[in-house]
Amino acid sequence: MAMFSHLGKATLYWNTLRYLRPVQITGRLKNLLYKPKIKSDILGQQRAVTGIWQQPAQKGCRMVSSEEFCFLNEIHAVQSASDWNHPHWAKLWLYNLHYFDDLTAIDAEHRSNWHRALIQRWIEDSPLGVGNGWEPYPTSLRIVNWIKWGLSGNELDDG
């Protein structure tokens, strides 16, 4: 039985790999072996706002308190640096935490002090390139939400 299982896996791999071009195979191997380092010393200049800023559509509030969040009908408190990547919380829940969607949610202006503190905590608690928050999708949404928050009249620190 175990031999059939190994034969089945080998057949599956063969059927997958035989359609790949050599450049795709070498690219996969390169991505497995080479992990590029993110340069932290590159800082861009903040550009001046030109034109009129239109407020985006607002989502529902997800920040229950300054440390509690509700995503996917689950409430968790983010009280320590390790909570940003808590091993027992669902990955989708953690992704939602890293999006910072509450910055542009309904009545967000009443939570701006919470938001400012939360952004500062995220910067302090999230080492460059480590954890869920640095994966491409959460990073792209967080950047967009931080920019929207800044364009809505909130001060973005250079830190």
Checking if the pLDDT of 46 tops 80, the result is no
Residue range 54-61: mean pLDDT, rounded: 85
pLDDT for position 121: 96
pLDDT for position 6: 75
Identify whether residues 22 and 84 lie together within a single domain: no
Instruction: Give the pLDDT band (50/70/90) at residue 3.
Output: low
Within a domain: residue 40? no
Task: Give the chain's mean pLDDT.
Answer: 89
Identify whether residues 29 and 74 lie together within a single domain: no
Residue 107: give the domain boundaries: 68-151
Question: With contact defined as beta carbons under 8 Å apart, do 118 and 157 qualify?
Answer: no
Identify whether residues 15 and 87 lie together within a single domain: no
Within a domain: residue 52? no
pLDDT for position 87: 96
Helix (H), strand (E) at residue 77: strand 74-77
Question: Number of structural domains, the chain?
Answer: 2
Identify whether residues 75 and 141 lie together within a single domain: yes
Helix (H), strand (E) at residue 70: strand 68-71
Q: Phi-psi region for residue 156, left (φ > 0), alpha (ψ -120 to 50) or beta?
A: beta
Within a domain: residue 57? no
Within a domain: residue 100? yes
Identify whether residues 92 and 21 lie together within a single domain: no
Checking if the pLDDT of 43 tops 80, the result is no
pLDDT for position 101: 96
Within a domain: residue 146? yes
Q: 15 or 157: which carries more pLDDT confidence?
A: 15
Q: β-strands 74-77, 68-71: how paired?
A: antiparallel
Within a domain: residue 137? yes
Supply the pTM of this predicted model: 0.72
Most confident range (mean pLDDT) of 31-40, 49-58, 85-94, 127-136 is 85-94
Return the residue matching tokens 């229950």.
Answer: 64
Give the tens place of pLDDT for each residue, 124-133. Answer: 999 988 999 9
Checking if the pLDDT of 58 tops 90, the result is no
CA dist 113 and 29 (Å) reads: 46
Identify whether residues 145 and 72 lie together within a single domain: yes
Residues with Cβ within 8 Å of residue 30, at least 6 apart in sequence: none
Give the tens place of pLDDT for each residue, 91-123. Answer: 999 999 999 999 999 999 999 999 999 999 999
Return the residue matching tokens 């910072």.
Answer: 100
First to last CA, the chain: 59
